[in-house]
Amino acid sequence: MHPDVSRAAGFSRSVYPARGTGYATRLPARPIFVLLSGLAFFLTACGSLTEALDPCDRPRACEVDGVNYVVDGMTVEAVHVEEIGRYVVPFGTSTIKVNFTVVNNGSEPGTDDELRVCLWSYCKSHAVKALGPGETFSGSLQLGIGTDRSGDTDLTAKVGRTTHRVPFRLERPDLTARVEVEPEVQAVTNARAIVTVRNNAYVASARPSVTELCLGSTWGGCTRNIDRLYIETPELAGRQERTDTLHFPVPGNALSRVDTPTSWTMLACANSTEVVNESDSGNNCGYAGLTVLPNFDALCDTEPLAVGESRAGTIRTTDCEVDYALSRLYRINSPADGTRYVVRVDGRGFYEIEVRVVNSRGTVVHLQRGGYYGTSLEFPFEVNAGTYYLAVADFLDGTPDFTITLSQ
């Protein structure tokens, strides 16, 4: 037997003949309609009542019943940076002024209480008078924040059982450098470099400092015997930058070999003497790629050679030794592409004469050997427009004297 719960549940029970031995039940339409209508009226009335009584018309912690003190607003007399949503003060600031408003959004009057404002471990309290329902109390306090910490945190204000947080930053300056330079430059000339130093901080100023410019593959590579430049960078306010244009002397020893272009990195490093107390000293340096090209006229013994001219020479060890000893370099200025030349070498004592022609980048465009123990040989070659350098050598390291003549 099962108890009859149909009346207690608000249903009436009807019995109809059905297949088998069971019963079929049907839900009456009118009681359900009445029940749903009553429920809808009840919910609507509750919503209206809650809306009328609720004093929390702003998003904050709220308790309608009893006493509930909350911070209704808190500001700092400092720069508010919308970009990061924080109040920002420069590192070294020892105190900040905090303005606050406390409200009792409870339903009962409260008693005297206390607001406690903290930044890291630095805290200060302020008395809050007794507040009735909906009453507010506003005040301000000076909070000492020390001078030993910086970075992002929250300024907190606690009253009663609630804590209010305001994003905050104690900011150090942050210097970065970037450099623009010509992609190629000859050795023993000046590279034009544009150096920009920027203080990325929002409000913290950077004291006058020194920016260093050097050649290297890394910052440590700048300790090599490569010329440097030092730039006096003035004080930079937050978000301020300074641009200088310099002519950096590229020394001859920037070439790995006198005839070989050599890749370097031009480095510009802000705050190189570390006089500025920064938030991030790891981002001080900027760099740009630079290829140093040969400069035969500056580094080697060169002499111009025109068509129809002859020069007396000898094979000897010079600054322009490449794989073995060469003669001095003879500079040929070709006026057009496809210009043909013939160089005649007269001399005694050669084991095997070699004539080498390179362009201004040190690339060999013609190399020819011949004349074992020969005394007179002609070597034809063809070049495009530009400046070329011709050298004579003895492939087997002899050091004979010779006469060279250029013709077409």
Give the integer Cα–Cα distance in Å for 262 and 293: 7
Please report the pLDDT score of residue 376 as a whole number: 82
* Cβ-contact 243, 193 below 8 angstroms: no
CB atoms within 10 A of CB 344: 16
pTM of the predicted structure, to 2 decimals: 0.75
Q: Could you write out the DSSP letters of every residue in 309-327?
A: -EEEEE-B--TT-SSS-B-
Residues with Cβ within 8 Å of 205's Cβ and at least 6 positions away in sequence, in order, are 90, 173, 199, 235, 236, 237, 238
Common-topology check for domains 69-171 and 175-295: yes
Q: pLDDT averaged over the chain?
A: 84
CATH superfamily name and code, 69-171: Immunoglobulins (2.60.40.10)
Beta sheet of 95-104, edge-to-edge order: 69-76, 95-104, 136-144
Closest CA to 122 of 102, 137, 141, 101: 141
Give the integer Cα–Cα distance in Å for 404 and 309: 8
Write out pLDDT tens, residues 193-214. Answer: 999 999 999 999 999 999 999 9
Ordered by start, the domain boundaries in the chain are: 69-171, 175-295, 300-407
Give domain 175-295's CATH architecture.
Answer: Sandwich (2.60)
Write out pLDDT tens, residues 232-276. Answer: 999 999 999 999 999 999 999 899 889 999 999 999 999 999 999
State the Rg of the chain over Cα: 44
Please report the pLDDT score of residue 58 as a whole number: 45
Give the integer Cα–Cα distance in Å for 3 and 10: 15
Indicate the fold that domain 300-407 takes in CATH: Jelly Rolls (2.60.120)
Give the integer Cα–Cα distance in Å for 261 and 58: 69
Please report the pLDDT score of residue 347 as a whole number: 82
